[in-house]
Amino acid sequence: MAACSLTLSSSLPQPKPSFFGSKPSHLSLHSTSFALKSQCFRVSSSSVSISSRPTDDLVASLLSKVIQTDGGVSLTTKQHQEVAQVANELNKYCVDEPVKCPLIFGVVFPDWDVVYCSNPTSPGGGYRSALGRLFFKTKDMVQAVEAPDSVRNKVSFSVFGFLNGEVSLKGKLKVLDHQWIQVIFEPPELRVGEMDFRYGGESEVKLQITYIDEKIRLGKGSRGSLFVFQRRHGGSTNV
């Protein structure tokens, strides 16, 4: 949706997380109205009203394919292709300038669950690799996007099934064009139990927003990885 290091196992290399993108400006919040073929959004600072939703079935189908798949890890090649096909259909309904859509932020609910990536090791980097998953069981992958340009990513996990930990990044968002954004992240922070470390240096991701509504956001990394974000409505994650 990257100086101290922590050695958890002599055989486990230090993970280098790549967060919600493919490579380690302020958005306008004024009232916006736009039309998407037969789908029409009306966005204001206080409400979102929606009429004629041809995308509802597509969104439901996409979520049914990616929820509870460990971010896509458990899917077969054919199932990944099916996810891509539905995402491509949704792309046809994307607004002309998604980077200007206030729905990116969400006034009340700024947090997005990272429910899928076509490259399952991309969110979280080494923590999500085949080796990393032997030691780190992922609990949550969350991205919080707050106006005007704040992005906070967090991957929380348990180590060996009993010790809780998380790795988080804070970054600044910059608009590159009508679809692409860039985020420059500070060095990652790793917390395991009572221990807290920062390691590595700054990192950067670029993401193309290919669809957005009040429920989901689709993005494509600079190397082609597909991301599915689902808005979290259960309160703050404190990332």
pLDDT for the residue 198 = 92
pLDDT for the residue 98 = 95
**Nearest to residue 95, comparing CAs of 210, 182, 237?**
210
pLDDT for the residue 150 = 94
pLDDT for the residue 212 = 96
Q: Considering the domain boundaries, does residue 103 fall inside one?
A: yes
Q: What is the model's pTM?
A: 0.74
According to DSSP H, which parts of the chain are helical?
56-66, 77-91, 132-135
Taking only the tens place, the pLDDT of each residue in 120-173 is 777 766 667 777 777 778 888 999 999 999 999 998 888 877 889 899 999 999
As for how many domains the chain has, the answer is 1
pLDDT for the residue 238 = 39
- Measured CA to CA, the distance from residue 82 to residue 97 in angstroms comes to 26
Q: Considering the domain boundaries, does residue 221 fall inside one?
A: yes
- Measured CA to CA, the distance from residue 185 to residue 131 in angstroms comes to 25
| DSSP per-residue codes, 6-22 | --S-TTSPPP----SSS
pLDDT for the residue 54 = 84
Q: Considering the domain boundaries, does residue 118 fall inside one?
A: yes
| Segments of the chain scoring below 70 in pLDDT | 1-52, 106-107, 124-127, 234-239
Q: Considering the domain boundaries, does residue 239 fall inside one?
A: no
Q: Considering the domain boundaries, does residue 19 fall inside one?
A: no
Q: Considering the domain boundaries, does residue 153 fall inside one?
A: yes
Q: By residue range, what is the domain housing residue 63? A: 53-231
Helix (H, G, I), strand (E, B) or coil at 236: coil
Q: Considering the domain boundaries, does residue 5 fall inside one?
A: no
